[in-house]
Amino acid sequence: MQTKSSVSPLGQLADIAVLTSLCLLQFAFVFGMPWLDNGLWPQTEGPSAAIHLFSAVLALFTGLQVAFKDPKYIKALSSPVVLALLAFAVFSAVLAPFTPEPVRSIQGTLKHGVGVLWQFEMGLAVLAASAIWQTTVMRRIALVAATLAALAIIALYAIPGQPLGVPLGFQEWVGVVTLAVAGLLVTGPRVSRIGVAPLKIAVAGVVCGAGFLVSENRTILLALAALTVLHAVDAIPFLRGLVRVPVLRAATVVVVAIASTTAVYFAGPIIEARSVAAVKPGDFPSVASTAPVDKALIQDGALGTIWSRSYMVRILVDDMLENPVTALVGNGFGSFSTAYEHHARDVPGRFFAQPTPTASTTFWDVHTSANFHSHNMLAETVASVGVIGAILWLGTFAAMAWASRAGLAVALGIIVVGSFWFPINHMLGALALLTAATVVPRQPSAKAETLLSGVGPLVAILGAALLGYVGVAATVLGIVERSERGFPAVQVNTDANTCGFIRTQFFPEQEIVIDLYSVLKNRVSQSDNPPRELFDRSTNVISINCMLRRYFDRDGSIRALTASLSGRTSLIALGPASYGSLRTEIIKWGDDIDRLLTILPERTEFLPPYIAILSGRAHQKAIMEIDRFVPRLKDTDPVKHYLLSQRAKLFGDDEQYRVHYARALDLGFANLWPVSEEEVKRVRGK
pLDDT tens track for 517-541: 888 888 888 888 888 888 888 888 8
Write the pLDDT tens digit of every residue in 154-208: 999 999 888 888 888 788 999 999 999 999 988 865 444 444 467 788 888 999 9
Number of separate helices (H) and strands (E) present in the chain: 31, 0
Say if residue 580's pLDDT is above 70: no
Closest CA to 124 of 68, 56, 71: 56
**Banded pLDDT at 563 (limits 50, 70, 90):** very high
How far apart are the C-alpha atoms of 511 and 294, rounded to whole Å?
33
Share of the chain above pLDDT 70, in %: 92
Higher pLDDT, 492 or 403: 403
How far apart are the C-alpha atoms of 97 and 99, rounded to whole Å?
6
**Banded pLDDT at 550 (limits 50, 70, 90):** very high
CA dihedral 478, 480, 484, 489 (to 10 degrees): 140
- pTM given for the model: 0.91
- The pLDDT of residue 617 is 78
How far apart are the C-alpha atoms of 103 and 293, rounded to whole Å?
40
How far apart are the C-alpha atoms of 149 and 204, rounded to whole Å?
13
Say if residue 7's pLDDT is above 70: no
Which region among 201-210, 214-223, 320-329, 588-597 has the lowest average model confidence (pLDDT)?
320-329
Whether the CB-CB separation of 222 and 417 falls below 8 Å is answered with yes
- The pLDDT of residue 266 is 96
Whether the CB-CB separation of 384 and 330 falls below 8 Å is answered with yes
How far apart are the C-alpha atoms of 255 and 603, rounded to whole Å?
37
- The pLDDT of residue 23 is 97
How far apart are the C-alpha atoms of 661 and 670, rounded to whole Å?
10
**Banded pLDDT at 638 (limits 50, 70, 90):** very high
Write the pLDDT tens digit of every residue in 269-288: 999 999 998 888 888 999 99
- The pLDDT of residue 393 is 96
How far apart are the C-alpha atoms of 300 and 278, rounded to whole Å?
13
Write the pLDDT tens digit of every residue in 237-262: 878 888 889 999 999 999 999 999 99
Share of the chain above pLDDT 90, in %: 52
Residue 268, amino acid = G
| DSSP-assigned states of every residue in 238-260 | TTTHHHHSHHHHHHHHHHHHHHH
How far apart are the C-alpha atoms of 117 and 467, rounded to whole Å?
13
Write the pLDDT tens digit of every residue in 424-454: 999 999 999 999 998 888 787 777 777 777 7
Say if residue 481's pLDDT is above 60: no
Write the pLDDT tens digit of every residue in 69-112: 889 998 999 999 999 999 999 999 999 999 989 989 998 888 88
From residue 455, alpha-carbon distances to 58, 373, 441, 537, 570 in Å are: 14, 33, 17, 53, 53
